[in-house]
Amino acid sequence: MVHCGAHQDILVWRAATRSVERHPTRGGWLAIRPEVAMEAGELKLEKGDLLVLFTDGLIEGTNESGEMPGLDATVDLINERGQQPVGDVVEALVEQALLWCPKPEDDITVVALRHGGGDA
């Protein structure tokens, strides 16, 4: 899989190790310019791996004390539930974010997929 454009880290729960890898993204944010330098990265998914993409609203909502859950809470949840069906993992991530910040001011978007086999 090839990716480019800077945003949140790409998270991959590896079925073989039952743990999350963080893949930083590189390059520029979407911009209107005559030229934008984009640096592509590449990662390989194996059978059973779970790829998770998300917007910053998932990890940057603040609670009543002004604290953010951060990326660690997301990684911990994926580590705990990575073997579960994709829809269950996505639902749990969104629920966790909304429990932390019941009235988010930013969008919460999560896209996840599990590699079923073959080449990726």
- Domain residues for the domain of 95 are 8-22+47-114
Structural domain contains residue 2: no
Structural domain contains residue 32: no
In the prediction, which pLDDT does 120 show?
45
In the prediction, which pLDDT does 37 show?
65
Cβ pair 30, 95 in contact under 8 A: no
Number of domains forming the structure of the chain: 1
Q: 119 in helix, strand or coil?
A: coil
- Strand intervals (E) in 28-118: 41-42, 50-54, 110-114
In the prediction, which pLDDT does 38 show?
66
Mean of pLDDT over the chain: 87
67-85 pLDDT, tens digit per residue, is 998 999 999 999 999 999 9
**Mean pLDDT, the chain cut into blocks of 10 residues (120 residues total):** 73 98 74 63 92 93 90 97 97 96 93 79
Structural domain contains residue 39: no
How distant, in Å, are the alpha carbons of 71, 88, 101, 118, 120 from that of 1? 22, 24, 33, 13, 6
Structural domain contains residue 73: yes
